[in-house]
Chains A and B, each alone.
Chain A
Amino acid sequence: MITGTSSGIGFASVRYLIDRGFFVFGCVRTAQDADMLKKAYPKQFQPLVFDLIDENAIQESAKEVEGHLNGEALFGLVNNAAAVVSGPIAHVTKKDMLYQFEVNTFGPLNLCQAYFPLLRGKEGQQPGRIVNVTSLSGEIAMPFLGPYSASKRALMSMTHTLRREFYPYGVDVIEVVPGRVKTGIIEKLSDASNSYDGTDFEEPMRKRMESAMEMREFGLEPEVISEAIHTALTASKPKYRYVKPDLYFKGYRLPTLLPARMIDRVLGKQMRLLPSFLRSKS
């Protein structure tokens, strides 16, 4: 079972797993996306149409999957679907914060609860695994992605508690941490459409969006993450997390190694967030 299969990592993972002999249940939000996927994979795919903010629909989907499984245990649950709320953190509204966490944090946790009985299986069956797709942003918080980074950081924390609490049942919980993936995040930046014109962050925010647009074709192929998901699901002794940065040294090792205050200054300069920029404006 994979969430968010209409595009990006989810879409690529459907094909990757079907090619390796899996039957995939895929969560999408529209009937259109469901038809598109069903047409592409008539035999090995079952679409489920629901939204992660709808807890009842999550429960219903688990019942539907149970019907299809016919007594078999579910091999894996991949929490991949995510929304991206961006904006200067001083001005992000509570409504946008709540939406961000409903989709990226509460939704996946609800799915883990709802699909747990299917993953656990019955006596004698091999229990399935959960893979939570988080983000390097949860590790390295970039300006203007505050809500998104925080929601992913929360999911990282929950991956640990889930793994520790599901331990007695043999249901393993593994994290896949992608860096920048091609066309991934940019397509979703419209999720929150608030304008921050007129605030002190107007210019830095616009600059940030422009550079994000320029970089839209830059990043990992989604298949790289699908491969990590596949490994997490199938390795006999999986690691507790698989980190897949787009640039190993510059995008991961260096920022996690350097003193945070130094990175603050570098980012501050790049993104026009130093106090001198405010002074020059006034």
Chain B
Amino acid sequence: MKHILITGVSSGIGYTAAKYFIEKGYHVFGSVRKEADAQRLNEELGESITPLLFDVVDEVAIAKGVETARKHLAPGENLSGLIANAGIHIPGPILHLSRDDMRHQFEVNVFGSLGVIQAFIPLLRKTADQAAGRIIHVGSTSGAIPLPFSALYAATKSAMHSLCDTLRRELMLYEIDVIDIYVGPVKNEMVSKVAIYKERYKETDYYHSISARLENALKNTIPKGLSEREVAAVLFENIEKAKPKHRFAVNKDWFNTWFLPNLLPIRLLDKILAKKLQLRPEDFEANKSK
């Protein structure tokens, strides 16, 4: 039997991926933060899931999760994969973010992800019967193309990009491979979660620009996005295939959300973004009177 750990399985990509791996015959260890979510997963997904109750920022709870997983594995069994999926997005204009916002964003997405990886390395190592497991980081297009009002989120994904390189190089010693995926826009509820932050910035110069960014996401980007199931299929494929790429992008609207912005000169991309998001000096002037 093959086993995999997926963090953040209560909803979104994590939940869909857990279901997908179960369909393919895996046993899934899935991290959730709430007891209620653990019960719900047990009811919905049955015997094939073992919910692990931990917040990625809580090292003690993670250690307990490792023990639960270790007890569940038969002798000679290991984890075929660890999918670092759990993450949060604290949006907002840089000028109005606090140091606590910075800490919180990095504690979950960077220190938390790394903490989980560190703790589960012993279970990923190869055994007499099974090859070493693989780590996949669920990254984001923002890691390569940072957009205004997602400064902290984008920076955490960039930091993880670098950490994936370091992990891949250092964990060669244990034959544990590390894959970093830039996941493009996904059709799910994430944006509406972010939308509630908008009103917080009503009194700032950036209000109209934030509205423009959200509107663009809801009208153009998200409807053209990937389904969670498509992302889950990519994750599965890359846990299974013999020679995965160390880093790649998955995108539905590949040309516009990946190819073009990476091709354009940076200063030109700045200008295009400024126009699109009403971030030109003349936009601020005009929006003042609104």
Nearest opposing residue in chain A for B161, CB measure: A153
The winner among B172, B280, B281 for most chain A CB atoms within 10 A is B172
Chain B proximity mask over A72-112: 1 for CB below 8 Å, otherwise 0: 00000000000000001111101001100100011001101
A143 contacts the other chain (Cβ, under 8 Å)? yes
Known contacts: A90-B171, A146-B170, A162-B151. The answer to whether A97 contacts B110 by CB under 8 A is: yes
Q: Are A161 and B103 in contact (CB under 8 A)?
A: no
What CA separation (Å) do A17 and B206 show in the bound complex?
34
In the complex, whether A248 has a CB less than 8 A from a CB of chain B is no
**A89–B176 CA distance with the chains assembled, in angstroms:** 13
**Chain A, interface size: which category?**
35 or more
Judged by a CB distance under 8 angstroms, whether B169 is at the interface is: yes
**Which residue of the partner chain, among B106, B173, B279, B283, contacts A164 with CB atoms under 8 Å?**
B279
* Interface: A6 (CB within 8 A): no
- Does any Cβ of B come within 8 Å of A167's Cβ? yes
A61 within 8 A of B: no
- Tell me, yes or no, whether B165 is within 8 Å of chain A by CB: yes
What chain B residues lie within 8 Å of A91 (beta carbons)?
A: 118
Out of B94, B158, B166, B174, which one reaches A113, CB within 8 Å? B94
Q: Would you call B173 and A105 a contact (CB within 8 A)? A: no
Query: Are A113 and B95 in contact, with the CB atoms below 8 A?
Result: yes
Find chain B residues with CB under 8 A from A161 CB: 94, 146-148, 150-151, 154-155
List the B residue with the shortest CB-CB distance to A240. B266
**Residue total for B at the interface (Cβ-Cβ under 8 A):** 58
- Contact indicator A149/B99 (Cβ below 8 Å): no
Q: How far is the CA of A56 from the CA of B64 in the complex (A)?
A: 37
CB closest residue in chain B, given A276: B173
In the complex, which of the residues B111, B150, B205, B280 has the most CB atoms of chain A within 10 Å of its own CB atom? Answer: B111
**Interface hit among A24-32, A34-42, A260-268:** A260-268
Q: Which residue of A lies closest to B285 (CB)?
A: A168
How many angstroms from the CA of A158 to the CA of B155 in the assembled complex? 6
- The stretch of B37-45, B47-55, B267-275 that contacts the partner chain: B267-275
Q: Does A109 lie within 8 Å of B102, measured CB to CB?
A: yes
CA distance A143 to B143 in the complex (A): 21
Tell me if B61 counts as interface (CB < 8 A to partner A): no
Residues of B within 8 A of A201 (CB): 170, 173
Report the minimal beta-carbon distance from B108 to chain A, rounded to whole angstroms: 12
The listed residue (A98, A165, A200, A260) touching B173 by CB distance below 8 A is: A200
Within 110-162 of A, Cβ neighbours of B (below 8 Å) are at 110, 112-113, 116, 138, 140-146, 149-158, 160-162
The A-contacting residues of B in range 78-109, CB under 8 angstroms, are: 93-95, 97, 99, 102-103, 106-107
Please state if B169 and A273 are interface contacts (CB–CB under 8 Å): yes
Kindly state the separation between the CA atoms of A149 and B99 in the bound complex, as whole angstroms. Answer: 21
Q: B168 on the interface (CB 8 Å rule)?
A: yes
Q: Given known contacts A116-B95, A164-B273, is B165 in contact with A141 (CB within 8 Å)?
A: yes
Q: What 0/1 pattern do residues 133 to 156 of B give for CB contact below 8 A with A?
A: 000000000010011111100111
- Chain B residues with Cβ below 8 Å from A160 are 146, 154, 266
Residue ranges of A at the interface with B (Cβ–Cβ < 8 Å): 55, 88-92, 94, 97-98, 101, 105-106, 109-110, 112-113, 116, 138, 140-146, 149-158, 160-165, 167-170, 200-201, 204, 240-241, 260-261, 264, 267-268, 273-275, 277-278
Q: A88-B170, A167-B281 are in contact. List 14 more A-B contacts (CB 8 A).
A: A90-B170, A109-B94, A109-B151, A112-B94, A113-B95, A141-B163, A141-B165, A161-B150, A161-B151, A161-B155, A164-B148, A168-B281, A169-B284, A201-B170
Interface pairs (7), CB distance under 8 Å: A97-B114, A105-B159, A150-B160, A164-B270, A260-B247, A268-B169, A274-B173
